[in-house]
Amino acid sequence: MYTRANATSLYAPSTAGSLYAPITATPSRPAATRTTTSHNKKVLKAEAKAQEATLKAQQAERKAQQVAAQEDAKMKEKIRRESMRQPMYPAPLY
Protein backbone atom coordinates (compact mmCIF):
# COMPACT_ATOMS: atom_id res chain seq x y z
CA MET A 1 0.00 0.00 0.00
CA TYR A 2 2.33 2.75 1.21
CA THR A 3 5.74 2.58 -0.40
CA ARG A 4 8.73 4.84 -0.77
CA ALA A 5 7.48 5.89 -4.17
CA ASN A 6 4.26 7.16 -2.60
CA ALA A 7 6.19 9.15 0.04
CA THR A 8 7.63 11.49 -2.58
CA SER A 9 4.33 12.00 -4.38
CA LEU A 10 1.84 14.75 -3.66
CA TYR A 11 -0.33 12.32 -1.78
CA ALA A 12 0.29 10.72 1.60
CA PRO A 13 -1.68 7.95 3.28
CA SER A 14 -4.68 9.17 5.23
CA THR A 15 -5.92 7.56 8.42
CA ALA A 16 -9.51 8.64 7.90
CA GLY A 17 -11.78 8.19 4.91
CA SER A 18 -10.03 7.64 1.61
CA LEU A 19 -6.80 5.75 1.21
CA TYR A 20 -4.84 8.82 0.08
CA ALA A 21 -5.52 12.44 0.95
CA PRO A 22 -3.90 15.44 -0.72
CA ILE A 23 -1.26 17.26 1.32
CA THR A 24 -2.52 20.77 2.02
CA ALA A 25 -0.27 23.80 2.01
CA THR A 26 0.89 24.84 5.45
CA PRO A 27 0.63 28.50 6.44
CA SER A 28 3.85 30.49 6.49
CA ARG A 29 3.24 31.50 10.12
CA PRO A 30 1.60 29.54 12.92
CA ALA A 31 -2.04 30.38 13.55
CA ALA A 32 -1.24 31.81 17.01
CA THR A 33 0.98 34.56 15.59
CA ARG A 34 -1.07 35.31 12.48
CA THR A 35 -2.71 38.72 12.89
CA THR A 36 -4.19 41.29 10.59
CA THR A 37 -3.11 44.88 10.19
CA SER A 38 -6.44 46.14 11.51
CA HIS A 39 -6.03 43.96 14.62
CA ASN A 40 -2.54 45.39 15.16
CA LYS A 41 -3.92 48.92 14.82
CA LYS A 42 -6.64 48.18 17.38
CA VAL A 43 -4.08 46.76 19.81
CA LEU A 44 -1.83 49.80 19.38
CA LYS A 45 -4.77 52.17 19.92
CA ALA A 46 -5.80 50.31 23.07
CA GLU A 47 -2.23 50.42 24.40
CA ALA A 48 -2.01 54.15 23.66
CA LYS A 49 -5.31 54.78 25.46
CA ALA A 50 -4.16 52.79 28.47
CA GLN A 51 -0.86 54.65 28.58
CA GLU A 52 -2.67 58.00 28.29
CA ALA A 53 -5.07 57.06 31.10
CA THR A 54 -2.15 56.04 33.30
CA LEU A 55 -0.40 59.33 32.59
CA LYS A 56 -3.55 61.32 33.42
CA ALA A 57 -3.97 59.40 36.68
CA GLN A 58 -0.36 60.10 37.64
CA GLN A 59 -0.79 63.80 36.85
CA ALA A 60 -3.99 63.97 38.91
CA GLU A 61 -2.25 62.24 41.82
CA ARG A 62 0.67 64.69 41.67
CA LYS A 63 -1.75 67.62 41.55
CA ALA A 64 -3.66 66.28 44.57
CA GLN A 65 -0.42 65.87 46.52
CA GLN A 66 0.62 69.41 45.57
CA VAL A 67 -2.73 70.85 46.71
CA ALA A 68 -2.54 68.88 49.96
CA ALA A 69 0.98 70.17 50.60
CA GLN A 70 -0.17 73.76 49.98
CA GLU A 71 -3.12 73.35 52.35
CA ASP A 72 -0.82 71.86 54.99
CA ALA A 73 1.61 74.76 54.62
CA LYS A 74 -1.26 77.27 54.95
CA MET A 75 -2.52 75.58 58.14
CA LYS A 76 0.98 75.50 59.65
CA GLU A 77 1.45 79.19 58.87
CA LYS A 78 -1.95 80.01 60.37
CA ILE A 79 -1.12 78.06 63.54
CA ARG A 80 2.27 79.79 63.75
CA ARG A 81 0.64 83.23 63.47
CA GLU A 82 -1.97 82.38 66.10
CA SER A 83 0.70 81.15 68.50
CA MET A 84 2.70 84.37 68.01
CA ARG A 85 -0.34 86.49 68.86
CA GLN A 86 -1.35 84.69 72.05
CA PRO A 87 0.95 84.33 75.05
CA MET A 88 2.15 80.84 75.86
CA TYR A 89 0.97 81.16 79.47
CA PRO A 90 -2.04 82.94 80.96
CA ALA A 91 -1.62 86.43 82.36
CA PRO A 92 -1.10 86.51 86.14
CA LEU A 93 -4.16 87.38 88.17
CA TYR A 94 -3.33 90.27 90.56
Report yes or no on 39 lying in a domain.
Answer: no
pLDDT per residue as tens digits for the range 21-71: 666 666 566 655 556 788 889 999 999 999 999 999 999 999 999 999 999
Report yes or no on 64 lying in a domain.
Answer: yes
> Can you spell out the DSSP letters for 13-62?
E-SSSSSEEEPPPPPSS-TTT---HHHHHHHHHHHHHHHHHHHHHHHHHH
The number of domains in the chain is 1
Look over the chain and give the mean of its residue pLDDT values, rounded to a whole number: 78
Answering whether pTM is above 0.95, one says: no
Report yes or no on 8 lying in a domain.
Answer: no
Domain region containing 76: 59-85
Residue 58, CA atoms < 13 Å, CB-side half-sphere: 6
Report yes or no on 41 lying in a domain.
Answer: no
**pLDDT, mean of residues 75-87:** 85
CA angle 50, 30, 32 (to 5 degrees): 30
Report yes or no on 33 lying in a domain.
Answer: no
Report yes or no on 66 lying in a domain.
Answer: yes
